[in-house]
Structure 1
Amino acid sequence: MASVSFKHRLEYLGLRLAAALIRPLPRKVALKVGRLLGRLGMKLLPGRYQQAKENMSKALPELSSAEIETNLRRCFEHFGMSSMEMLRFDLPASDPKAVRNHIDISGENHLKEALALDRGAILLTGHLGFWELGASIPTELGVPVDIVAKPLKNPLSDAYFEKIRKSFGANILSSRKGAKRILKSLRAKRSVGVLLDQHISPPGSVPTDFFGRKAYTTTAIANLAMKYQVPVVPIFCLRKPDDRYDVWIEPMLLLSADNGQSVESNTQLLTDIIEAAIRRDPSQWFWMHKRWRVKNKQVKGNASE
């Protein structure tokens, strides 16, 4: 474990206190608390709010100012509720009303068809809805899964959430040296959950079109899928108005270099799939992230190389 500072210990104490208060609550009450905390976050985190507003306004220019504000409020509420769900995520063994009993799943056959190829599978998803829940679905179907996650800066909090994630049978792969870790899991015929909608600086990424603007996206997934002919299975999880979850699994993709396909074009294809999922309910994506960092001169430079 990385070195632990006094600040880390203080943050971790706050996390454990929050968990102690939230975990005993009925789910409906916990979600109401989360919704209120989300609204409070809009006020207490003005930098995050402005970043989200700028991102959403540029990505969805067809929305009016009032619609943007409504979506932003719903976005912060959603992530407040998701935080409460995460603190309670390892309760299913003892709580019959826990979150995993509030799921509607479709497309399980797509995942089974992909795994029948006996090459493992890359589960493509993004920071949409309650993605932690979506990552647990394969284990619900009896499929071993590993999840690629970026370690938290606070090692104590990181270990706490890793334990929660492991409670539903998943292994955690650090995003550091992620490609090697993913390949090892795939060779063991496991499924690997990957979030593809984060900024990754080059090298190792290419600028892709994402909501009409350029954003750097890792090429590792397309590279692995093409080189080893591993199926890519998109899977997403959205919160429904009644606070149930809609999880859908899409048909697998087999990426190759045939028919003029390239790592760049396939990375764009995967990005398009994530954008289409986000457009189902834009208020449930992580707009607070600095996703678009490509400058025009950088795009021109890459195009000429």
Structure 2
Amino acid sequence: MKLKNFRIIQLLEYLAIMVVALPLYWMPRRMALRTGEYIGTLMYYLLSRRRQIGFKNLTIAFGEEFSDQEKERILRSNFRNLGKSIVEVLHFPKMSRDDVRAKVTIVGQENCVNAIRKGRGMIYLAAHIGNWEMSSFAQSAAGYPANIVVRPLDNRYLNNFMVKVRTMYGHTILSRRNGMRDMMAALKRKEPVGILMDQNAKRSQGIFVDFFGKSASTVPVIAILALRYDAPVIPGFIVRTGFDTHTLYFGEEIGIERTGDAKKDIEINTARLNKILEDFIRQYPDQWFWIHNRWKTQPYSVSSEQ
């Protein structure tokens, strides 16, 4: 009975969301995106805790480099981007491959081609920058589908929608529950794997490496897999370049350092990946997902001092 009631509640939640989502789906695209911006602005004012987390994160990353006014401007842009991104995801089912190509310019596509030709699989270093769902969508629409690891949404009906959207052009969804095993299997098959590694990791799952000058608990899975399977690692980040346009950047292959000390190699390479991500965020500071509590987990010595 409890399970049945839980599913009924989830269905009601889904239907309530659809009441808002369907008008946005059927709206002309430009009007829908503008509405998404308004929704994002509303979230900026309503989600005060997330706004506080974002301000704290910007202070950790940039200190006095940005004024308080500039930090608030970045946060408002963050929320507007989130609102627009939600609307863009709703419109994905209506988009053909040509539609995606018209919206997203891909730079560095040859880096993917060169990595794939090595025949050792490939790992995409991804992050919550710009509309990261559009990054994945454009990548698969361009003919480079991958196995991507995602956390299932709590609402099964919303999750089913997202799975359909994410797999439209060939992506395979790997659940975090069996993530490592499935990623290893994909690389053994010489297939690409996409991994978002810019969120806070639980103490039992991450290692502490530098990120914007502060220890950040980071999942070391990319370093572990690259070292084990000798798979090339390619950074892939998307940025919003206009009202309805994006650029997806695929960087050059990231060299993986090997010292012969397995533990040290994992730490060195994870720190290097974080630095590459940090450098990109510094170029586009208003496009990273600052409202996530990235530095939540800290070493015990630091936690006890706070």
Task: Give the TM-score normalised by structure 1.
Answer: 0.91
Q: Aligned match of 1:50 in 49, 52, 64?
A: 52
Partners of 1:158 and 1:72 in 2: how far apart?
A: 27
Partners of 1:99 and 1:58 in 2: how far apart?
A: 36
Partners of 1:249 and 1:211 in 2: how far apart?
A: 22
Partners of 1:266 and 1:281 in 2: how far apart?
A: 23
Partners of 2:198 and 2:90 in 1: how far apart?
A: 24
Q: Secondary structure at the match of 2:270?
A: helix
Partners of 1:60 and 1:220 in 2: how far apart?
A: 27
Partners of 1:2 and 1:118 in 2: how far apart?
A: 47
Structure with the larger helix share:
2
Q: Deviations over 1:149-176 (max 9, x none)?
A: 0111111111111111111221111112
The percent of aligned pairs where both chains have the same amino acid is 33
Amino acid across the alignment from 2:292:
H
Partners of 2:183 and 2:244 in 1: how far apart?
A: 33
8 Å CA contact retained: 1:204, 1:220 = no
Q: Secondary structure at the match of 1:176?
A: helix
Alignment of 1:64-83 (within 5 A): 64-83=67-86
Alignment of 1:70-149 (within 5 A): 70-93=73-96, 98-149=99-150
Report deviation, 1:300. Answer: 10
8 Å CA contact retained: 1:89, 1:98 = no
Alignment of 1:41 with 2:43, yes or no, is: yes
> Measured at CA, do residues 256 and 60 of structure 1 come closer, stay the same or move farther in structure 2, by a change above 3 Å?
closer
| Structure 1 stretches of at least 4 aligned residues deviating more than 6 Å after TM superposition | none
Partners of 2:291 and 2:274 in 1: how far apart?
A: 18
> Measured at CA, do residues 270 and 255 of structure 1 come closer, stay the same or move farther in structure 2, by a change above 3 Å?
same
Q: Secondary structure at the match of 1:88?
A: helix
Amino acid across the alignment from 1:172:
I
Q: Aligned match of 2:34 in 32, 35, 57?
A: 32
Alignment of 1:186 with 2:181, yes or no, is: no
8 Å CA contact retained: 2:24, 2:87 = yes
What's the Cα RMSD here? 2.3
Partners of 1:295 and 1:7 in 2: how far apart?
A: 36
Partners of 1:8 and 1:212 in 2: how far apart?
A: 41
Alignment of 1:171 with 2:152, yes or no, is: no
Q: Aligned match of 2:62 in 60, 63, 67?
A: 60
Alignment of 1:17 with 2:19, yes or no, is: yes
Alignment of 1:276 with 2:279, yes or no, is: yes
8 Å CA contact retained: 1:127, 1:285 = yes
Q: Aligned match of 1:285 in 277, 288, 291?
A: 288
Amino acid across the alignment from 1:210:
F
Uncovered stretches (5+) of structure 1, i.e. residues with no partner? none
8 Å CA contact retained: 1:147, 1:192 = yes
More deviation, 106-115/291-300: 291-300
Uncovered stretches (5+) of structure 2, i.e. residues with no partner? none
Task: Give the TM-score normalised by structure 2.
Answer: 0.90
Report deviation, 1:181. Answer: 1.0
Amino acid across the alignment from 1:50:
Q
Partners of 1:74 and 1:216 in 2: how far apart?
A: 26
Alignment of 1:266 with 2:301, yes or no, is: no
